[in-house]
Structure 1
Amino acid sequence: MSKIRDFKLEGLVPAVFTPMTTDGAIDYDKIDAYSRYLSDLGVKQVFLNGTTGEGFSLTLDERKKIVETWVRVGKESGRIRDIVVHVGSLNMHDSQELAKHAAVAGVDAIATVPPLFFKPSKLEYIVEYCKKIAEAAPNVPFYYYHIPTMTGVEVNIEDFLVMASKEIPSLVGAKFSSKDLVDFLGCTQLTAPNRSDSKYNLMFGCDEQLMAAMVMGGHGSVGSTPNLMWGTMARVLQLTAQGNFPEARKEQLRCQKTVRIMLKYGPQLGGNVAALKAILALVGMDTGPPRAPMRAPSAEEARAIKADLNAIGFFNWDNQPATNLASQPATNLASQPATNHRRKTAR
């Protein structure tokens, strides 16, 4: 139980994309290059098979093989220290199977969304559902994945943590992908009975509000934008921790401008992940197209995305060689000097 008491996500934790070929098959071989790309940025912790990873568009076997591949090329190579796996699915038994597999594979934590087709009418139903999934991997730290814009399940996470802490011994925190900062602040004030520091590990998932979440006591970000703009998002954390709010706001605004471009093109591509994958390719890490019902942008759409990014100065924000940010663990980002960083960019 010591790992459950002490395990912690912190700093920038990319929610990783799932590499795919042009025919929609998983490109497992690309994961090696992707893990190297992230390691070169300074990434030490990753989140697999979530929204960014298109987890609900994958088969069980694909999700398992993705986990096994990341463990091999990420953890066993020493590039990635901690791997968190989303095991949520449309039925509890598949989630339990994925949780058991994750534990055997050697991941460091698991997470799940709530039931999202037959939506629970009471909070205790969600707690019971999560309890049964967590029990499938009782020695693995467990996170609740709160993303109501995708699941349609609106629940107060402060209340969930209070109730779930009595039923789920492996509960360590939440991936909070909601803009309800009132609820988030309440979560930061709770006492966690099974944690060494008595605090729930709270990772924010709406990158465009990260600065505010950190001021309220969040521990970092599990989101997609660190894949695309690591230096910018790292400076949001660093400058906020230093109390340099004017400069932190400038970096946060850069994230918001990028997210607005994602929101501009995402709907016409079937989902925001499609736009994000296109942007990631422009900064040097091509993970291929998304899976249906999303689609890759046409050549014309790709040029438009690139033009919009150029218009906001995106390719000039993080264009310096890897220095401090790339060499420091994700957990120490807040204490490092604000330094530019970007791998090779496309113009």
Structure 2
Amino acid sequence: MKIKNLIAATYAPLHPDGSLNTSIISEYSKFLVRNKVAGVFMNGSTGDFVSLSTEERKEITTAWSQNKTSDLYLIDHVGDPSLKVSMDLATHAADKVDAIAVLAPYYFKLNTIEKLVHYCKEVAACAPNLPFYYYHIPVLSGANLNMLDFLKVASKEIPNLEGIKFTNNNLIDFMHCKHFEDGKFNILFGFDEIFLASLPLGADGWVGSTYNHMAPLYYKIKTLFEAGKMTEAAELQRKAIRFVEILDAHGGFNGVAKGFMKTFGIDCGPSRFPHTTLGDDAYNGIKKELDALGLLEHLSG
């Protein structure tokens, strides 16, 4: 099954004391479905996986699986600098989610396609019945490799390879991946700020953090594009970019955007270091800034 439409990169919900609060995942799931989000990408960059223990990541996987519905496709990111840990996480997820993904190890960085395929192959084999995605985010992983070259090798080595979460602004590489072997692989676009630019290249599935907050806006961009109303679509894309810039200016996007979920009644709690946790007064100020741009009407409901 090729997952399409918006997939939210979800936050790791915490109690005020910083411990996991998986009890809100039931409401979180319903909120996403209500806003026509098609899937969840858990334990990723947005989900602060690098600040979680292995056991905490497993708890999050289990909690989402216990709240699984036919309306929400679950992708679990199981990548880790340790291949052993990544394989353990994949084994844990094998009977709980719809697909798994890994990014490249990011301390001792991978510098060849062969090393990357070896890493992916070992992890994918731990959940052989699940679709496997490679999470391409070179700005964080340091694995700045060509994804078309990856597909040429990985497609022959990894039987359950489903596609790539393509979080990079190299649109030429994205286009080539999208059309590789007549579009055989599911190439999910992962750069929210250039969502509009992905549409002419055939993108039909997207993973991103701001799909938690503004799913209606992105679906409207897609509708305007399909109607040939490019100026209006571009204006909405500009507003989406300003949303990111405004929240980022208040201490860093990841932590501030996580706290913004409370606006929707989904209290994901504080952020872990090094991300910022703001108080209610700060969010009231942020909402005034967003209202001045006409953004509040485009937020999820």
**2:37–2:211 contact (8 Å) kept in structure 1:** no
> Retained in 1: the 8 A contact 2:78–2:100?
yes
Number of the residue aligned with 1:171: 161
Paired residue type of 1:308 = E
1:286 matched to 2:291? The reply is no
Post-superposition Cα deviations, 1:294-318, rounded to whole Å, max 9, x if no partner, equal 2302455434423322222221335
Q: Give 3-state SS (helix, strand or coil) of 1:166's partner.
A: helix
Trace 1:213-252 onto structure 2 (pairs within 5 A). Answer: 213-252=198-237
> Cα distance, 1:283 vs. partner?
3.5
Over the matched positions of the two proteins, sequence identity in percent amounts to 37
User: Could you tell me whether the CA contact under 8 Å between 2:287 and 2:296 is conserved in 1?
Assistant: no
2:95 alignment partner, one of 79, 82, 104? 104
Match of residue 59 from structure 1: 53
After superposition, the CA RMSD in angstroms is 1.7
Equivalent position of 1:199 in the other structure: 184
CA contact (8 A) 1:91 1:115 kept: yes
Deviations 1:35-60 (A, max 9, x none): 12112222332111111111121111
For structure 2, the residue ranges without an aligned partner over 5 or more in a row are none
Asked whether the 8 Å contact 2:111–2:143 carries over to 1, the reply is no
Q: Distance in 2 between matches of 1:72 and 1:123?
A: 36
Q: Return the letter of the residue paired with 1:82.
A: Y
For residues 246 and 89 of structure 2, what CA distance do their matches in structure 1 show?
Answer: 34
Structure 2 distance, partners of 1:11, 1:227, is: 13
Question: CA offset at residue 62 of structure 1?
Answer: 1.2
Contact in 2 for aligned 1:16/1:49 (Cα 8 Å)? yes
Q: 1:48 aligned to 38, 42, 47, which one?
A: 42
- 1:329 corresponds to: none
CA distance in 1, matches of 2:262, 2:191: 22
CA contact (8 A) 1:225 1:233 kept: no
Q: Which runs of 4+ in 1 moved over 4 A?
A: none
Q: Residue 313 in 1 paired to residue 297 in 2?
A: no
Q: Deviations for 1:215-245, whole angstroms, at most 9, x for unmatched residues? A: 1111221001111011101112222234332
TM-score by length of 1: 0.82
What is the total number of aligned residue pairs between the two structures? 301
Q: Which 10-residue stretch deviates more, 107-116 or 280-289?
A: 280-289
In the alignment, the residues of structure 2 paired with residue 243 and residue 163 of structure 1 have an alpha-carbon distance, to the nearest angstrom, of 38
- 1:323 aligned residue: none
Determine the C-alpha separation between the residues in 1 that align with 2:290 and 2:164: 32
Which structure has more RCO (C-alpha within 8 Å, separation ≥ 6)? 1
Which among 8, 20, 23 is matched to residue 2 of structure 2? 8
- 1:255 matched to 2:255: no
What does residue range 178-197 of structure 1 map to in structure 2 within 5 Å? 178-191=168-181
